[in-house]
Amino acid sequence: MSIRSSALLSLYVGFFLIFLYAPTLLLPLFAFNDSTIVAFPLSGFTTAWFAGLLDVPALHEATINSLAVALTSAVLATCLGILAARATTRYRFRLMHGMLGLIMLPMVLPEMIIAVAFLVVILHLGFSLSLFSIILGHVLLCTPFSVAILRTAFQGLDHNYEDASTDLGYSRWATFRLIIVPMVLPGVVASLLISFTISLDEFIIAFFLSGTETTLPVYIWGQLRFPQRVPNVLALGTLLLAISLGLMITAEFFRRRGLRKLGLSTQESVL
Amino acid sequence: MNNDPIIRINRVRKSFGPVCAVSEVTLDIAPGEFFTLVGPSGCGKTTLLRMLAGFETPDGGSIRIDGTSMIGVPANKRPTNMVFQNYAVFPHMSVADNIAYGLRAARVAKGEIIGRVEEALAMVGLAGYGARSPAALSGGQRQRVALARALVLRPKVLLLDEPMSALDKKLREQMQVELRTLQRTVGVTFVLVTHDQEEALILSDRIAVMFEGRIAQVATPHDLYQRPQSREVADFIGVMNFLSAHATVSTPDGMTVEIEGLGQVTIPRSQAPANLGDDPVVGIRPEMLTILQDGTHAAGRSARGSLVDLQY
Whether B185 shows a pLDDT value over 60: the answer reads yes
Average pLDDT, chain B: 87
Q: Could A183 and B92 be called an inter-chain contact, meaning their C-beta atoms sit closer than 8 Å?
A: yes
Return the DSSP state at A33: B
Whether B30 shows a pLDDT value over 60: the answer reads yes
Please tell me the predicted confidence (pLDDT) of residue B89: 92
ipTM of this complex: 0.83
The pLDDT tens digits of the residues spanning B13-29 come to: 999 888 889 999 999 99
Please tell me the predicted confidence (pLDDT) of residue B268: 78
The answer to whether the CB of B52 falls within 8 A of the CB of B208 is: no
Q: Could B75 and A167 be called an inter-chain contact, meaning their C-beta atoms sit closer than 8 Å?
A: yes
Q: Report the share of chain A in percent with pLDDT over 70.
A: 94
Partners of B76 on chain A (C-beta within 8 Å) are 166-171
Nearest to A169 among B88, B91, B105 (CB): B105
Please tell me the predicted confidence (pLDDT) of residue B276: 61
Sorted by sequence, the CB contacts under 8 Å of residue B221 that are 6+ apart come out as B200, B201, B202, B204, B207
Neighbours of B169 (CB within 10 A): 8
Q: Could A171 and B75 be called an inter-chain contact, meaning their C-beta atoms sit closer than 8 Å?
A: no
* Residue range of the domain that includes A196: 59-261
Q: Could B88 and A164 be called an inter-chain contact, meaning their C-beta atoms sit closer than 8 Å?
A: yes
Q: Could B88 and A160 be called an inter-chain contact, meaning their C-beta atoms sit closer than 8 Å?
A: yes
The model carries a pTM of 0.77
Closest CA to B240 of B259, B222, B226: B226
Q: Report the share of chain B in percent with pLDDT over 70.
A: 95
**A264 confidence band (pLDDT: 50, 70, 90):** low
The answer to whether the CB of B37 falls within 8 A of the CB of B208 is: yes
Q: Report the share of chain B in percent with pLDDT over 90.
A: 50
Average pLDDT, chain A: 84
Rounded Cα distance between B159 and B84, Å, is 8
Give the chain A residue nearest B50 (alpha carbons): A163
Whether B309 shows a pLDDT value over 70: the answer reads yes
- Domain positions in chain B: 7-226, 239-312
Rounded Cα distance between B103 and B117, Å, is 9
The pLDDT tens digits of the residues spanning A199-235 come to: 988 999 989 888 788 888 888 888 888 877 777 888 8
What residues does B158 pair with on adjacent strands? B81, B190
Domain count, chain A: 1
Please tell me the predicted confidence (pLDDT) of residue B120: 93
> For the residues A92-120, what does the mean pLDDT come to?
87
Neighbours of B306 (CB within 10 A): 5
Q: Name the residue type at position B249.
A: V
A160: distance to nearest CA of chain B, Å? Answer: 6
- Side-chain-side CA neighbours of B242 within 13 Å: the count stands at 13
Burial A28-47 (b: 16+ CB within 10 A, else e): bebbbbeeeebeeeeeeebe
Whether A150 shows a pLDDT value over 80: the answer reads yes
Least confident of A155-169, B47-61, B150-164, B263-277: B263-277
**A269 confidence band (pLDDT: 50, 70, 90):** very low
Looking up residue A223, the CATH number of its domain turns out to be 1.10.3720.10
Strand ordering across the sheet containing B68-69 = B19-29, B7-16, B60-65, B68-69
What residues does B259 pair with on adjacent strands? B245, B263
Please indicate, yes or no, if residue A148 is contained in any of the structural domains.
yes
Please indicate, yes or no, if residue A104 is contained in any of the structural domains.
yes
Q: Could A169 and B106 be called an inter-chain contact, meaning their C-beta atoms sit closer than 8 Å?
A: yes
Please tell me the predicted confidence (pLDDT) of residue A261: 65
> For the residues A146-174, what does the mean pLDDT come to?
91
Give the chain B residue nearest A185 (alpha carbons): B92
Please tell me the predicted confidence (pLDDT) of residue A135: 92
> For the residues A78-99, what does the mean pLDDT come to?
88
Look at the domain B7-226 and name its fold. Rossmann fold (3.40.50)
Please indicate, yes or no, if residue A66 is contained in any of the structural domains.
yes
Rounded Cα distance between B47 and B25, Å, is 12
The pLDDT tens digits of the residues spanning A44-72 come to: 777 777 777 777 788 888 888 999 999 99
Please indicate, yes or no, if residue A44 is contained in any of the structural domains.
no
Nearest to A171 among B53, B76, B88 (CB): B76
Please tell me the predicted confidence (pLDDT) of residue B47: 94
More confident residue, A237 or A150: A150
Q: Could A163 and B101 be called an inter-chain contact, meaning their C-beta atoms sit closer than 8 Å?
A: no
Least confident of B119-128, B139-148, B228-237, B290-299: B290-299
The answer to whether the CB of B124 falls within 8 A of the CB of B54 is: no
Please tell me the predicted confidence (pLDDT) of residue B10: 92
The pLDDT tens digits of the residues spanning B71-119 come to: 889 999 999 999 998 889 998 899 999 999 999 999 988 889 999 999 9
How many contacts, defined by CB atoms under 8 Å, are there between A and B? 61
Domain B239-312 indexed as CATH 2.40.50 = yes
> For the residues A22-27, what does the mean pLDDT come to?
81
**A238 confidence band (pLDDT: 50, 70, 90):** confident
Partners of A158 on chain B (C-beta within 8 Å) are 86, 88
Residue A258 has φ and ψ, to the nearest 5°, of -60, -45
